[in-house]
Amino acid sequence: MELKWNYGQGVLVLPTSVLSQNATEKQLQVLLWLASDADLFSKPTQLARLAGVSKPELEEILRFWQDCAVLSAQVAAEPIAPPAKKSGAEATPPPKKETKQTLQRADELPNYTSTEISERLEQQASLRALLDECQNILGKMFNPMETNVLIGMVDYLQLSEDYILLLLAHCKRIEKKSLRQIERYAISLHDQGITSMEALEEKIQRIEEAHTLEGKVRSMFGLRSRALTSKEKKYLDAWLSYGYNEEMLRLAYEITVDATKEPSLPYANSILERWHAEGIQTPADVQREQEKRQGARAEDTTLGNSFDTDDFFAAALKRSFESVSEN
């Protein structure tokens, strides 16, 4: 059998002097992680976690490789603060400030070897069950990279099993099925502080309501699959904040087409903005308003007044629409 290197997605480059050192497994682990990602030199906390060592152990290991001339002297772990000066009674060091951990890159999640993944799945029945559920949700078997992402969300982001299952179900509904996409999405939610089930449920509800509304508006106004403009997205966000359902949007659409002979989001927005300002929230409210206007028009006619409030409103909307179109 002939063997060859399986490089995969990257290659580790190490000095040949490493071969002559009597290094321990942990010392080699740290060196291999550094060789895999140079950014880890400036991230000792992450490096320690990936290599499975404590911060003091990491400092000792880095000093070992410096003494072996494998690492240059300027590469070190986080600087160790000098001891606090004592004056008279024992001085109490100031409390350490807690800083919120912020993830900014998808590749900051841990990387596990195939052996580590197998061992984790063998040792943790709950992790195996979570993997099975996630595979069922997305309808596919996870490869090692995808399993790595799942374990990273558990270990590093410390997300609960229920959170992960809800997140995957949501991602499937919005056509975000790649584990890399889900990984970046999970990190984004983490950075926003959305780490509890309650916060995630609230976020998902807002997103899916907007997603559903957009689909209905696209179908109603004949927008097909083209991307919405930033102004059109603002219209949808506003309508959602008004609490308007499909029936209200349909009414605004019909009034728009009756007046302009074509679908128009700006014109419909003028109608919906007016309704919102006047506290009109349901089709019944619209009906009552129309009846009120018809009564006022009949009274004006009886008094010999030719002024038509509906005509005035339609004209005002049309002027507003034309102004928006010109801009």
pLDDT at 304 over 90: no
Q: Which tops the pLDDT comparison, 322 or 26?
A: 26
The pLDDT > 90 percentage for the chain reads 22
The pLDDT > 70 percentage for the chain reads 76
How many other C-beta atoms lie within 10 A of the C-beta of residue 211? 14
Query: Which tokens belong to 158?
Result: 């410390």
pLDDT at 119 over 80: yes
CA distance 187 to 105: 8
Q: What is the pLDDT of residues 3-15, one digit of tens each?
A: 666 555 456 778 7
> From the centroid of its chain, how far is CA 140?
23
pLDDT at 226 over 90: no
Q: What is the pLDDT of residues 151-195, one digit of tens each?
A: 999 988 889 999 999 999 999 988 888 888 898 899 989 988 999
Q: What is the pLDDT of residues 64-84, one digit of tens each?
A: 888 787 887 553 344 444 445
pLDDT of residue 87: 52
Instruction: Count Cα neighbours of 103 within 13 Å in the Cβ-side half-sphere.
Output: 23
Of 67-76, 254-263, 306-315, the range with the lowest mean pLDDT is: 306-315
80 DSSP assignment = P
CA distance 309 to 99: 61
Q: What is the dihedral of CA 163, 166, 169, 171, to 10 degrees?
A: -60
Q: What is the pTM of this model?
A: 0.45
